[in-house]
Structure 1
Amino acid sequence: MKKILVTGAKGQLGSELSVLSSSYPQFEWIFADRKKVTLDDLEFLDFQLNEINPDIIFNCGAYTAVDKAEEEIDLAFRINYSAVNLIAKYAFQNKIKLIHISTDYVFDGSSSIGLNEEAKTNPINIYGESKLFGEIACLKENPDSIIIRTSWVYSKFGNNFVKTMQRLMQERETINVVNDQIGSPTYANDLAKVMIDIVESLNWIPGIYNYSNEGEISWYDFALSIKELGGYNCNVVGVPSLSYFTPAKRPKFSLLDKKKIKEIYNLAIPDYKESLKKMF
């Protein structure tokens, strides 16, 4: 029986994989939170990987506090780069299949068309830079890795835009939402299924892939969909990014082109609204 190690088990993606795991009893699942796999202590991480001895690694663990990363630079790079470097090296040496999760924040947001896997990277914040370094290290240390870039992840677990909107729309009469950042959301449950599908397909084609739900929207559009599906009476006002100061800049446009993953793994990717309904 193949053993799958999931890092970041308490995060959105790890939690969705945990829910799905019971439907895949052909695998032995190891869900590792920060205690079981310590991404910020590299010596201990090496020991932990050897103790667990997995056949497959889903590296969902990451430093994801985008604004905080501007101050905690060393910690962001230790988790998003150095730990990934170590995991990739370990996977290569032990012939372990590795799927590593990355982000649309590796781009600067200057494009106006969907970004494919060959698009030029140029992160505009520390988080994006640390994740890009992680991608580069992953493919250098283990050319057999699969990296999935995703965007605007949400789930019924953890903290995310959808849950924040649900709460605010019940608490307030009016909320302002940014209307000039364009992309597409990702329902973590959909992405979790895709990761399992890739492992099950036995069609392991290494490299970088993009995955998000279908649709080209702003955060404001997303908020309107949440309002509609939740039946909330809150007034939602679209505002420019300049209205909000954040320590870290966000890319203005980070719509991911999913053609590659759809063709290679024969995927039908749901529209964002269809997946949002599923979560509701």
Structure 2
Amino acid sequence: MGNIVVFGASGQLGHCLKKVAEEKGVADIHFLPEDEANILNVEAIKTVFEKHKPTYAINCAAYTAVDKAEDDVDLARSINKTGAENLAVACKEAGSVLVHVSTDFVFKGDNPNPRVEDDIAEPISIYGLTKLEGEQDIIRILDEHFILRTSWLYSEFGNNFVKTMLKLGAERDLLKIIADQVGTPTYGIDLAACILDIITSGKTNYGLYHYSNEGVTSWYDFAKGIFDLSATEVRVLPIRTSEYPTRATRPTYSVMDKSKIKLTFDIEIPYWRDSLAICIERLK
């Protein structure tokens, strides 16, 4: 399997990878601090590759502040596009495989059918656009890549919707949650396990894949599930997107078809509510 290096290791998915790697006994994996492995610093990246000689590089680094990105275009693009490009170049020079995490936000979200990997990507936000640009640069530069698009990521680490809802549910009597945006939550631990399963499989079926938990839900029903499973007593009202305007436009429907990744790597994907129950139990 060889050495694995993780960029963006201090983020939510980086923490999930560290936990799963420990559970799976994956020894030769290096979680790099940002001051040593900044994906915008080409020389630092070269030093990392010379030191660790990775067979696989996992990129968890991303600019994910969706609304802020609308006004912070240059920084979002530098991290999501240029950073991905830098890693693809380094992997090509070193003969390494790049595992890169992308997003359902590359889709416009106006088609009520699960998106497959070769559907046309039409992002409607700067975040989605810069993530798509990163994908395109990787595909252009490096054949040996796995790009995993995911959605609605949460875990017991970092800042995410589940932890925000638990905090607000404990503080307030009433919450209004958007009910007309539909997608699928993804437990970061499940995504991390999928990434490591792909690597340890040794398969070379490189390309673009979709991964989220199974099932379909709205943000409203996701919130209801969080409160039900955590026994949080709070009144939740469904609202339309138009009642809660945001700087960035979100896809209305961003459910992704996972058939390709399941068939290629023989992966079983948990149902979103089952994984949510595990996460909430761990948060307790």
Q: Structures share a fold, TM > 0.5?
A: yes
Superposition deviation, residue 26 in structure 1: 4.8
Q: For 1:47 and 1:251, locate their aligned partners in 2 and report how far apart those are by CA, in whole Å.
A: 39
Q: For 1:238 and 1:84, locate their aligned partners in 2 and report how far apart those are by CA, in whole Å.
A: 38
CA RMSD of aligned residues (A): 1.3
Is 1:63 the counterpart of 2:63 in the alignment?
yes
Superposition deviation, residue 23 in structure 1: 3.1
Q: Which residue of 1 aligns with 2:184?
A: 184
Q: Which residue of 2 aligns with 1:270?
A: 270
Q: Determine if contact 2:215/2:272 at 8 Å carries over to the other structure.
A: yes
Q: Determine if contact 1:2/1:27 at 8 Å carries over to the other structure.
A: no
CA 1:133/1:61 → structure 2, altered by over 3 Å: closer, same or farther? Answer: same
Q: Which residue of 1 aligns with 2:144?
A: 144
SS at match of 2:237: strand
Q: For 2:209 and 2:2, locate their aligned partners in 1 and report how far apart those are by CA, in whole Å.
A: 24
Q: Determine if contact 2:45/2:90 at 8 Å carries over to the other structure.
A: no
CA 1:49/1:73 → structure 2, altered by over 3 Å: closer, same or farther? Answer: farther
Is 1:207 the counterpart of 2:237 in the alignment?
no
Q: For 2:70 and 2:47, locate their aligned partners in 1 and report how far apart those are by CA, in whole Å.
A: 30
Superposition deviation, residue 239 in structure 1: 0.4
Q: For 2:90 and 2:179, locate their aligned partners in 1 and report how far apart those are by CA, in whole Å.
A: 43
Q: Which residue of 1 aligns with 2:216?
A: 216
Q: Determine if contact 2:16/2:189 at 8 Å carries over to the other structure.
A: yes
* C-alpha distance after superposition, 1:234-258 (max 9, x if no partner): 0011100111121111111100100
Q: Which residue of 2 aligns with 1:79?
A: 79
- Point out where structure 2 has 5 or more consecutive residues left out of the alignment: none
Q: Determine if contact 1:2/1:26 at 8 Å carries over to the other structure.
A: no
Q: Determine if contact 2:185/2:213 at 8 Å carries over to the other structure.
A: yes
Superposition deviation, residue 47 in structure 1: 3.8
Q: Determine if contact 1:154/1:186 at 8 Å carries over to the other structure.
A: yes
SS at match of 1:120: coil
Q: Which residue of 2 aligns with 1:92?
A: 92
Amino acid at match of 1:246: T
Amino acid at match of 1:79: I
* C-alpha distance after superposition, 1:207-227 (max 9, x if no partner): 100000011110001001001
Q: Which residue of 2 aligns with 1:116?
A: 116
Is 1:14 the counterpart of 2:14 in the alignment?
yes
Q: For 2:83 and 2:172, locate their aligned partners in 1 and report how far apart those are by CA, in whole Å.
A: 41
Q: Determine if contact 2:49/2:94 at 8 Å carries over to the other structure.
A: no
Superposition deviation, residue 112 in structure 1: 0.5
CA 1:26/1:278 → structure 2, altered by over 3 Å: closer, same or farther? Answer: closer
Q: For 1:27 and 1:260, locate their aligned partners in 2 and report how far apart those are by CA, in whole Å.
A: 28
Q: For 1:164 and 1:206, locate their aligned partners in 2 and report how far apart those are by CA, in whole Å.
A: 36
Q: Which residue of 2 aligns with 1:159?
A: 159
Q: Which residue of 2 aligns with 1:235?
A: 235
CA 1:97/1:220 → structure 2, altered by over 3 Å: closer, same or farther? Answer: same
Compare 63-72 and 151-160 and name the one that shifted more. 63-72
Superposition deviation, residue 194 in structure 1: 0.5
* C-alpha distance after superposition, 1:164-202 (max 9, x if no partner): 000111100000100010000000000000011011111
Amino acid at match of 2:129: E
Q: Which residue of 1 aligns with 2:54?
A: 54
Q: For 1:260 and 1:76, locate their aligned partners in 2 and report how far apart those are by CA, in whole Å.
A: 29
